[in-house]
Structure 1
Amino acid sequence: MLVHRLSLPVGEKGTKSKPGGYRSQGEWFRKSRRLHILKARLAAVQEDIATGRVHVVRGGKQLANNRHNLAAAQLTETGWRERWEAARWFLSADGESGKRFGNETIRVSPDGEVSIKLPKPLQHLANSPRGRYVVTSRVMFQYRGEEWADRVAHNRAVAYEIHLDVLKGRWYLTASWKRPAVQTIPLQAARVGGLIGVDTNADHFAAYRLDKHGNPVGDPQRFWYDLTGSADHRDAQLRHALSQLLRWATRIGVRAIAVEDLDFSDGKTREKFGRKKRFRQLIHGIPTGKVKARLVNMAAEHGLALVAVDPAYTSKWGAEHWKTPLANKKRAMTRHDVAGIAIGRRALGHPVRRRTKPPRTHQSDGGGHRNVQAESGTRGREGLRRTRNGTSPPRAATGHAVTAENQRAQHRSGHAAEHEPWQQDSLPLSF
C-alpha cells in the first residue's frame, strides 16, 4: 500500500477500492522513509531465515528483560532465578496411536498413574520394570476428563507436558490431542429449525434466535468479554463467552450458528482508513482471527454447524428495518442486536428487510403476498401492519385500526366472513 500511494502524485484523490496519493509533500517524504525502514527489516528477517537463525528465548522475552529491571518487576535475583529455571524445566512427549494408553514416553493410566520412560543413561533410577519411573502422585483431569479417558481406553494418541509452577510450588501435567476434521453438512440441513445470528463486536457477542422463516424469537442475548490484560486472560475471556454462546444454542435446540465472514488482516492499517484513529482502534479490537479458530473447533464439539455470511451492511440495514419494530419499554434494542437478526436472515436465505412493498394496483393479494417472512398457508399473516418507521396504520371511523384482518373480505382465507357460521334473521311480520 505504501508503494502504491507513493507512486501517485501528491494530492490525487482515491477511488472506492484504493486510496489516493498523500496530501502533502511532507507526508510523502515521511512515508518514503517508513518504506525504507520496512524494507530493511524485511531483509534482516529473510537473512535469518536463510541462515537458519531463530531468535527464541526459552522462558519468554519478558522474563529475560526482567533480569535487567528487577526493581521494576518487583523481583529479587533469587526469585528471578527460580522462575527462569522453572521456565526451562519441562518434559514433553508427543503421543502415538496404537501404543499403550496413547503414549510410550509419558504414560498415564485411566486411574491417574504416571510413568516415564527413562533414557539409557538414567535407567539406573528406574523404580519399575523396563526402565520406567513411576511417579508417586496421581493426576486427575477436571476439564474434558471423560474425553481423555475415552482416548486412553482405546490407545489413541495423547501428548503430555510436565512443568513447574513456581508461584504455587506445584508440578502440573497437561494433556492435549488433535481433534478430528470438522464435518460439513448441507446448508438446507443446517437451516432446519432455525439458527442463531451472531454479531461480533470489540467487547461482546450479540446473538438473536430466528426460526426457519426468519422471524426473531424471544429476546436478544449478549455474551460479554474483556480483551484487556495478559494474553492468557484474553484467551480465557474469549473461551468463556463462546462457551456461554454454544451452551445457549444447545439448550434452545438449534443446529447452526450464523456469523459474519470478517477478515481485517489487510484492512487495519492507517493507509486504508487514513486518520480515523478511533475507527482503527475499533477494528483492531474485534477478535476476528481468534473467533474463527476457536468457534469452529468448539462448535464441532457441540455438534453445531457454522454458516458464514457476507458482512456488508448488516448493522445498517438491521437498524433500518428491525430496531424500531422490536424495541419496547421492556426491551432496548441496539444496532448490534438487530445486526444479529440481519446476519441470521441472510444465512437463512431471506432478505434483511421485513416485508416487500404493497402491490401498485390495489391492496389485495392479487399482485403477490406482501409479507416476506410468512408462508402462503400461515393463518393470520395479514394482521396489523406497521409502517417502516414504526407508526400505526390509519384508523377507521369505528376507532379500530384498518387492517386486512378486520375488513371481512369474502375471498380471503383465514377471515371471519368465510369461516364463521352465518344465519339470516327472521323477517318482521308487520311494521
Structure 2
Amino acid sequence: MNAPRQGLFASLLILSFALHSILMVVATNYYLKDNRAIQGELLTRQLVTDSINELDPPNTVALALLTSRYATNPSIASLRILDQSDRVLATAGANKTRQGEVFVRDALLNEQKIGRIEVTLIKPSIGEQLRNLWLPLLLSLILHSLLWLGYRTIARPTRSEFLAKMKREAQLKHEIQRLADALEQEKHQASLAIAKAQQLYQKPRTLQNLQDALQQTEQGNDIYLSIQFYDPKQLLGTVNQSIAQTYFNIAQLFLNKVVELCSSHYQLKENELEIIQPFFDDGALVKISSKNANLISALVQVAVVFQLLSEAMYKRYREEKRFALQTRCAIAEELPNMQLPADKAAIRLAQYLHAKETAIYLSKPSFKDVRHCYELVALPNPSNALTREAMLLHGLNNECAQSAQDMRNQILSGRKPQHDEQDN
C-alpha cells in the first residue's frame, strides 16, 4: 500500500531541492559581492597610504616589495601601482589571468595626483561556489530525503482505508461497465429497430406476417428454434455493414433451403414449418405451431442440418481470411414458470450456449415421442429453470444422422455453382 500521489510529492521535493540550491548560490554570490566591495575599498585605501611616500619620487624597488607583500592575499588576482602618467611602477599577483572585480583609487599628495592603485579581486565561478557549498547542499539533500521517507510513512493508508478504497473503485468500475453495457444495448436495439423498419418498408407483407405471428395470443402450442451467431469478441460491431449483410444473406439462403428440404422430407404442409424472423444481428427464428412429434423432429433436423452447413461455411471463409461466425441453436416451448413465451425462451436459451451447440427445452409429453432419436446430456452449470430442464444435443441415431448428412451434401452441391459466382 503506497502513499497517495507519491509521484507528485517526489516532483515537489525535487523542485524544492533545486530552488533551495539556487537560493543558496544566489545568497552566497550576493554575500561575496558585498564582501569584495568592502575588501577592495580597504585594500586600495591601505595601499595608497603605504605607497604614497614611495611614489614621489618613484621608488620601484620599495613599491615592488610592497605589492609582493599584499599579493599574498589569496583573494587578490592582480595588483598594480601606476604613476601619474599611467606608467606601471610595480605589479604583483599569482592569478593575473583570472577575471574579477577591479577596484581603483588615486594616490593624492597635497591634493595633486601622483599615482594610481588598481586591485583586482577574484570573483568565484558557479562551480567554485558549489564546491564550497557541498556541505549545505548535502544537508539539504538529506533533509529532502527525510521528508520523502516521512511522507511515505505518515501518508500511507491503513489496511481498512485501503480496502475501502478498493471497494469504492470496484463499485465505480462496475457502475461504469453497467452504463457502458446499457449504452451498447441501446445502440444495438436502435440499430435493430432501424434495420427492421427498413425491412418493413421494403417487404411490408413479410414483416406484417412476422408481427402478426409474434403477437398471437394463443402461443401454448408453438415451439421455436432460435439460431444465433456466436460472437464473444463482438466482431459484428467492427465489420462493414455491407459485409455483414452479405453474410446474413448467405446464411438465410441456407436456412431457406434447409426448411424446404425438411418440410419435404417429413411431408409437412405449407406453413407448418416457417421462418418467423430472417437473419440479422440477433439471428433467426423458425416456428412450428403444433407439438406433433413429426413437427418436432423436423424442427430438430433443421437445427442439425443448419449447424452442419454453418460449420462448413465457417471453415471455408476462415481459410479465405474472410469474415465468418459460428452459430448456436436452441429449441424451446413456452415456459410458464419464468413467464417466458416460446420465442423468448428459445432466444434466452441460445444465449447460454457456445459455438456449434444445440439445446432443447421441451416438456415431457412433447419430448417422449422423439427422445429416442437423440443422444442428450444436461447443460453444465444450470442457473435457472430453463437451463436446468433443457438438454444439450450430443448425438443422433443412425437414421437421423444419415438424413442430416444427405441434406447437407445436397444443399452444398446445389448451391455451390451460385456461391462460387458470388465469390468471384
TM range (shorter): under 0.3
When you count helix as a share of all residues, which structure comes out higher? Answer: 2
User: Under a length normalisation based on structure 1, what TM-score does the superposition of the two structures give?
Assistant: 0.17
Larger CA Rg, structure 1 vs 2: 2
Higher relative contact order (CA 8 A, sep 6+): 2
User: Under a length normalisation based on structure 2, what TM-score does the superposition of the two structures give?
Assistant: 0.17
